Structure formats: C-alpha cells, structure tokens
Amino acid sequence: MRKSGVLMHITSLPSEYGVGTMGKAAYDFLDFLHDAGQSYWQILPVAPTGYGDSPYQTTSTFAGNPYFIDLDMLEEEGLLSKKDYADKNWGDNPELADYGKLYEQRTDVLGIAADNFLKNPTGKYAEFKEKNSCWLDDYALFTAIKKERGQRPWNEWPEALKVREKDALSKFEKEHATEVERNKVIQYFFADQWKKLHEYANQKEIQIIGDVPIYCAYDSVECWAHPELFLLDENLSLKEVAGCPPDAFAEGGQRWGNPLYDWDYHGKTKYEWWIGRIFYLCRLYDVLRIDHFRGFDSYYAIPAEREDARVGEWREGPGIKLFRALENRYGKQKIIAEDLGFLTDSVRKLLKDSGFPGMKILQFGFDIREGSHSDYLPHRYVEKCIAYTGTHDNDTINGWIEDADDNIRQCACEYLNIDDIKAANIAAMKALWASPAGIAIVQAQDLLGLGSASRMNIPAIPDGNWRWRAKSGAFTEDMAKQLNRLMLLYERRPDELTEEEQ
C-alpha cells in the first residue's frame, strides 16, 4: 500500500518554553497528520545531545533527551508549579531553539520536578529502573559526574573516575546519591511521556520513524563505560575518527570526530552490543532508519590528529554478518537503510542482501554529474524505497532551487513543469507522491513553503544548526484538508473520500 509522511524533529514543534516537546503541540501535530491522510511521522534521534546540539552526537545510545520532556504535563501531575518555569527566559525567537538558554535552565527545572516526584515515588518507577538498569545506572552516574566536573568530557576527569576504578565510583555515587537518582527520575519522565505520545500516534494510525546514528560521540557514556567497543589507545584516547573523504560538496571532506568501532571485538561477541542497540530502538519506534548504512560495508578512518578528512583510508566493516545475527535473534525488523553518499557495488550488494529499503532524494536527481538518467529522479524510483524531497541534511526545496546553479535550476523547472521557482515545493512534493515509491516523506518546511533560513542542518558546519522551529498554528485545518485530498489523488491513503470531502 502506498503511503506518505512528514519529516520534522520534535525540537521543531512550537512551544512557549524554548524547544519542541512531547506535550500538546506534539499531539496536535499527530492530529494534523491523521487529518492530512499521512501514515508516518519521521523524527531525528531522541537521545541527549552533546557539543553542537546535534542529534547525531549523543551522550547516550539509550537515554532520552530531557529537553523533550513537557513542563506543562509535569505541572498537571503536580510535580511543578507554573512559577517554576513559566517566567524564565527561554529565548527571544520562537522560530529558533536557543540551546544556551535550555542548557542553563531546563536541568534545574527538571530537578525540581524530580525532587517532588521522589517524595512519593511510584511502583512504575521502580519497575522502570529495574528494566533499564543495564544502561540507566551508568548513564545516571556519568551525567552526575559531568555536572560535578563542569561538563568537562570524561577523558579530562580525574584518573580514577576516567578509568572507572570501583572504589572511586562507589565513593562518588554515595556522595552524590541525590543527583544520580534525579537523573534516573528524569529518564523516567521521558519514558513515560514518550510511551503516551507513541501510543496516541498509533491510535491515530500514525507510525513513528526514528533514527539511529551509526556512531557514538567520544564524550558519551558508551565510550566511558565500554571503551572495549571502540578503537582507543592505551590511554583511552582517540587513535582515529570517523568521517568521509573530500568530494564535490566538501573540499576537505567531513571530519565527524566520532570514535570508530573495534569491529574485530564486536565480531567475537557476535555483535551483542549492536543487536541490543538496534532492537531497543526498533521497540522505541515503529520503524528505524539506520544512518550512514554504507559504513557497515566499509568505513573511512581519519587519523585523530588531522583537522580535516583529506587523509584517511577505507576499511572493511562487518557487512551482512551483523544484520544476519540481528535477524537470527529477533526476526525481521522494520528498518530503512540510509544508503546515500559514495556507493560501491559492495554497498549495493549489502543493501540487497539485507532486504532493507533504501532512500531516494529528489534534490539529487538534477545533479548533472549524475547524467540524464539519475536514479534519484522520481519516475525512476522503485516501489521498495523511501523517497524524500530532502532530509535534515538538505536545504528546503525552495531554498535549494533558488541557490542551485543555472543548469540544475533549468533542468528542475523543466522536469517539475514550473515557470516560477516559488512553486517548486508544491511541484516537487507532487512529483514525489506520484512516483512509484512505496513511501514518500516530505520535509515539514516544504509543506510550509519555507526557504533556506529554515534549513535544519548544513553538514560540516558545526554551529547554528538544529534550531528551526515551526510557528504556532502553522499546520492548519485547511492545509490538512488539501493534503488529504492530494493523498487520495495519488493513492497514498487507503480510504475513500467522505461525504463531507466530496
């Protein structure tokens, strides 16, 4: 069955308190998607972010981002009063997240709620701690030490804490027991609100597509608690880092800075950690998108001392062995492979062998370097793919076509049958919906007809990303009705028009 959805991260939802949350605006957006005939809400990783506020540089694989916890919902539960948070300065621009303000104030507010909760903790909280102890205990301790050390990365902590000497950790945990417990409560708040939101989405026949970054951040609980998973030296320092080589889009390549995996070690454990990670996230979401899928076939290793990605080498990844181990343990999972970037025959074979659908990006179809028969042009899509106007790493359609060179713009206008580039977003979405792709996902910014100022991320630019937020009331009832009719036209919703719609 042909379906469609919208890509918009939780941070981009409107709210009065600096960033989108799992509160009323999220439920309103799900109502909009349902009324608009959509089947999917795609979001970015929901884990806590580190330096640069990137959802792809997370401090934990399993934890939830405290910024997403809705304060009004905590107030309704009697855990906060309005005066605890309503009058704080959460930022001056409601269309941009101010992460500095969030960092300064959100943790303290959540700490108040956690202290109030701990006055009378519930049985469900005890169950949550027991069920998630395999990651929660380390995360709560890691976060408490970071706070006590002024948020300095774990490799700059005192040696005993850095190398996890048992006595030192026990002493710290005893002296900071309240802070450690607060961190666990905050994760319980996230899990509780996420469960309710996810259930509501499914009630509205909306599936949530989530995301798993292939790499962990160096300053993460995983690197600190399980350094054996990564290629670190005897001092637990980075030997090499992840990235991708120079190409037409980045002269110096992209140096992401993440630690690389010790795939020999993972193979000896039969990929136990990876299987647990993927299966956990497959249960958290309805569908899981695996970022940088090609890195499982081969990955680019950059010497840690290099400032860019000009020097590096490709190395063999685990390939299909990892995904066979996952399937043998848990059966087939609903997974999307982000198969973008430089693709080789071996990457294509891995995608085919995995059975996962890949991705198509409409904006890439008009790149003259692809020739006149690009597989990214909508009429060439296969049914088993997920087609996008663009992802979080791309410009909006209107921004892209305005900034494109003359040849690309001319080709796009001719293909989309438009004379005015201001109509590009509508034409591009219609081309996507009309394509053979089984699932079509459009950026929320393209639905709203926004330009480059609303772009979510510019790869290789470390500052100023991940900030865009939708205006309150942007997703209107009329827009939902128009979109719903288009879904019927392009056979991307299963039901017939109601009497009212006719």
Q: Which of 338, 339, 395, 446 is catalytic?
A: 338
CA 367 from centre of chain: 26
Contact 215, 296 (CB under 8 A): no
Q: Which of 31, 95, 393, 402 is catalytic?
A: 393
Q: Which of 138, 192, 219, 291 is catalytic?
A: 291
Residue 6 carries which DSSP code?
E
Which amino acid, residue 144? A
Closest CA to 5 of 209, 213, 283: 209
Neighbours of 459 (CB within 10 A): 13
CB-CB contact of 45 with 56 (8 Å): yes
Residues in the chain: 502
Give CA separation, 185 vs 111, 134, 136, 182, in Å: 9, 16, 10, 5
| Residue written as token pair 């977003």 | 425
- What single-letter amino acid sits at 496? E
Task: List, edge to edge, every strand of the sheet that includes 207-212.
Answer: 335-337, 287-290, 207-212, 40-42, 3-7, 439-443, 385-388, 358-361
Has 291 been annotated as catalytic?
yes
Distances (CA, A) of 81 to 145, 186, 399: 28, 17, 42
Nearest to 177, CA basis, from 213, 147, 140: 140
The pairing of beta strand 439-443 with beta strand 313-316: unpaired
Kindly list the distances between the CA atom of residue 22 and the CA atoms of 59, 124, 243, in Å, as whole numbers in the listed order.
20, 20, 32
**CA 129/CA 187 separation, integer angstroms:** 9
Q: Which residue has the tokens 């020739």?
A: 371
The three-point CA angle 284-286-289 to 5° equals: 90
Structure tokens at 253: 């390549």
Unique residue bearing structure tokens 């960033």: 19
Are the CB atoms for 106 and 67 separated by under 8 Å? yes
CA pair distance 211, 55, nearest whole angstrom: 9
Q: What are phi and psi of 192, to 5 degrees?
A: -65, -45
Which value, to the nearest 10 degrees, does the dihedral of the CA atoms of residues 306, 310, 314, 315 take?
0
**Neighbouring residues of 292: CB distance < 8 A, sequence distance ≥ 6:** 213, 214, 215, 338, 341
- Residues recognised as catalytic: 291, 338, 393
